[in-house]
Structure 1
Amino acid sequence: MGSVADCFDNALAETFLATLKTELVYTRAWPSWHELETEVFYHIEGFHNPRRRHSRLGNVSPDTYEKIHHESLTDIEVSGR
């Protein structure tokens, strides 16, 4: 990753955290830190990673993208290219 004072160092993390806060954290009041922590985990593992569409992946979910990618690799292996 970048060097000292590189503006692109934290771009990915900052974008992810901004999205997480907008979609989850700021949507309601959280009665306890533990409840928020648990909900953040389930949001990331249950929605963000497998089902949320990502523009960088052609507006498909990571699960769908991996299936398409795996199928393309399998097609290449089967055809012998």
Structure 2
Amino acid sequence: MLRRPVESAQYLSIRYTERLAEAGIEPSVGSVGDSYDNALAETINGLYKTELVHRQGPWRNMQDLEMATLGWVDWFNHRRLLGPIGNIPPAEAEQNFYAQCDVLDMVA
């Protein structure tokens, strides 16, 4: 008997969920039917398109866009200033956080 891929996916999903429960792991999933599951990712995608793709385009080729994307991601993750954390870059906030942690806290 052949199964449709959707049926197989449901079967595997149940087994996967059962295996997580056996291991004492709580799956990280959103609730069914809401629109918040991908909200953060879509926000970042929107910023990327607004700040880089549309503002600095048109692009000559995909390689140029890929190289510019690498630079934008580096800036976004390491150098942009964030008001909620004191107008410092995320990388600096992370360094400050770990500098305040006790060595035993980081091991645990």
Q: Normalising by structure 2, what TM-score?
A: 0.59
By how many angstroms is 1:12 displaced? 0.7
Q: Match of 1:37, as an amino acid?
A: E
Would the alpha carbon gap of residues 55 and 8 (structure 1) be closer, same or farther in structure 2, given more than 3 Å must change? Answer: farther
The answer to which structure, 1 or 2, has the higher relative contact order (CA under 8 A, 6+ apart) is 1
Aligned partner of 1:33 in structure 2 is 62
% identical aligned pairs: 35
Q: 1:16 to 1:33 in 2, by over 3 A?
A: same
DSSP 3-state at the match of 1:40: helix
- When residues 68 and 7 of structure 1 are mapped into structure 2, their CA distance, relative to the original with a 3 A threshold, is same
1:2 correspondence with 2:34: no
User: 1:30–1:54: structure 2 CA closer, same or farther, 3 Å change rule?
Assistant: same
Q: Per the alignment, do residues 66 and 43 of structure 1 end up closer, same or farther by CA in structure 2, a change over 3 Å counting?
A: same
d(CA) in 1 for partners of 2:77, 2:83: 13
Tell me how many residue pairs correspond in the alignment.
75
Contiguous gaps of at least 5 residues in structure 2: 1-28
Q: Distance in 1 between matches of 2:53 and 2:82?
A: 20
What SS is found at the alignment partner of 1:9?
Answer: coil
CA RMSD in angstroms comes to: 2.0
User: Which residue type is aligned with residue 16 of structure 1?
Assistant: I
User: How much does 1:71 deviate?
Assistant: 1.6
**Structure 1 residue 58, shift from structure 2 partner:** 4.6
Task: Name the larger-Rg structure.
Answer: 2
